Amino acid sequence: MTGAGTTSGYAQRLFAIKTDSTSRTYLLHTHLKEEDAGHNAPLVILLAPKGLTASDIYDRTLYAKQLYRQAVIALPNALQSDWGCASEDALSANRNAEFLVRMIEEIYRNFKINRDDITIISNGRDSCAVSRVREKYPSVQWQSSDYLGPGEFARTKLLQEIHGLLSTETPRNSAFFEPYTDPFAPKVITPLERMIEQGYYNRWVVNIRYGGMTFLKSIRTEMKEDAYLDLSKSVAPLSFGITKWFSDSTAWFLEFSRMPVSRQQKINGNSLSIGGGMMRNVTIGFKYAPLTEKRLRPYFSLATGAMWINIRGGKITMNGSPPPSTGGAPPAGRPPGFAGDQRRVFLHTTLEAGADYRLTRRLIINTSLKYLHSAQFEPLGSIKAARGFSFLIGAGYVLNARSTKKLEYLSE
């Protein structure tokens, strides 16, 4: 079988189909728009009278100029120029009918025509071919014409009849009508599907984030405790949180952050200074995302909460004895010369700007820049307040991603 891909615009091609070891041909005129390439277009089949061929009744220039509505027009060539109805040759009639059916199927594969909108035009003496085709496609219409012949006058009159056919809407038969999906077109989803795939309304999201934090220079002070720890250096916050979106753009969240301070040690003569610590805070706040139902969404948040800062460290001599300045014996379970201290800040504020990207219905990746501002406290670990910027990256998981509760009425 010789075929062709989808052809749009004004085009005419010769196709061949092999039936019963016989090669059968037909002309095909496509008058289609580029964007749909024939989807659900009507098909008109012109049967040339006995003794004539498809080329005798076809004029490409005339069809291209005067056919106003998109359509596919097929002009098959009969077996021995006879569709088998005027003779007693039933075998030839069956072969012709089989050829027409296979032609319709091939045109459908190439152009996705509407198989409920097929019309066969003949001179009235070839009705047996239509009857046999209707056994496969019951919705096929048949029309008789006196202008299936050569010459510009006959062709012009025939085109007028075709225009009349195309102006009539044909009911769609559910057995054949198929909604067309362009494989290269963006997926079109319903409002409800969009809210499920990209929306955040009524969603619970758990997340984990990790990054680095640097304190402002303005809150740094001298070391005044015996723990020998400099908190003014960068720390690495790790946070866990849960967010409840009560609209598609606003949410509240609760987050717990743990910021371990890396262990620091310094050898000075015959003594060793060691320090380490931990910063913990709990925040609760509100988040606002100005863009709704988008995969990439910037957001802003404001939160407040409490903070605990613990440090521990000290100085020991190389023989394990405490330095004279510490005085007395160390408490049980603590190495000689080690001390600990803690600060509790009951109120701190965070401002954050970031972006969420919805990878899938359930998975979210996140990046943000956060500013932490606490009240001032008694100097600890070379700082007198917890104030600074942190850069975080993380991932989130939507717990109730498949839930449609409270969504149906919003999508209407």
Amino acid letter, 181: T
Three-state DSSP state, 399: coil
Question: Are residues 367 and 305 part of one domain?
Answer: yes
Question: Are residues 391 and 326 part of one domain?
Answer: yes
Question: Are residues 218 and 147 part of one domain?
Answer: no
Question: Are residues 200 and 159 part of one domain?
Answer: no
The predicted structure's pLDDT at residue 261: 77
Distances (CA, A) of 230 to 268, 375, 382: 16, 19, 5
Cβ 202 vs Cβ 407: under 8 Å: yes
Q: Report if residue 41 sits inside a domain.
A: yes
Q: Which domain holds residue 218?
A: 192-398
Domain CATH number, residue 23: 3.40.50.1820
The predicted structure's pLDDT at residue 171: 55
Taking each helix axis from N to C end, the angle separating 127-134 and 90-111, rounded to the nearest 10 degrees, works out to: 60
Each residue's pLDDT, cut to its tens digit, for the chain (412 residues) gives 444 433 444 556 788 888 777 888 898 888 776 555 556 788 889 888 888 888 888 876 667 666 767 788 898 988 777 776 655 556 677 788 888 888 988 888 887 788 888 888 887 777 777 788 888 888 788 888 877 777 778 878 888 888 777 776 655 554 555 554 555 555 656 666 777 777 888 899 999 999 999 889 888 887 777 777 788 877 889 999 999 998 889 999 999 999 887 777 777 777 777 888 888 999 999 999 998 878 899 999 999 999 998 888 777 766 555 554 444 444 455 555 566 677 877 789 999 999 999 998 899 999 999 999 998 888 888 888 889 999 999 999 999 887 776 655 444 4
Question: Are residues 197 and 162 part of one domain?
Answer: no
The predicted structure's pLDDT at residue 122: 83
**End residue of a domain, out of 114, 131, 166:** 166
Count how many domains the chain has: 2
Distance CA 41, CA 166 (A): 10
Radius of gyration of the chain (CA): 41
Distance CA 212, CA 235 (A): 6
Q: Report if residue 176 sits inside a domain.
A: no
- Residue 5: exposure state from Cβ atoms within 10 A (0-12, 13-18, ≥19): exposed
Q: Six-digit token pair at 76?
A: 């098959």
Question: Are residues 198 and 137 part of one domain?
Answer: no
Q: Six-digit token pair at 251?
A: 């949410």
Q: Report if residue 184 sits inside a domain.
A: no
Distance CA 82, CA 73 (A): 20
Question: Are residues 204 and 278 part of one domain?
Answer: yes
Question: Are residues 108 and 203 part of one domain?
Answer: no
Q: Report if residue 181 sits inside a domain.
A: no
Q: Report if residue 409 sits inside a domain.
A: no
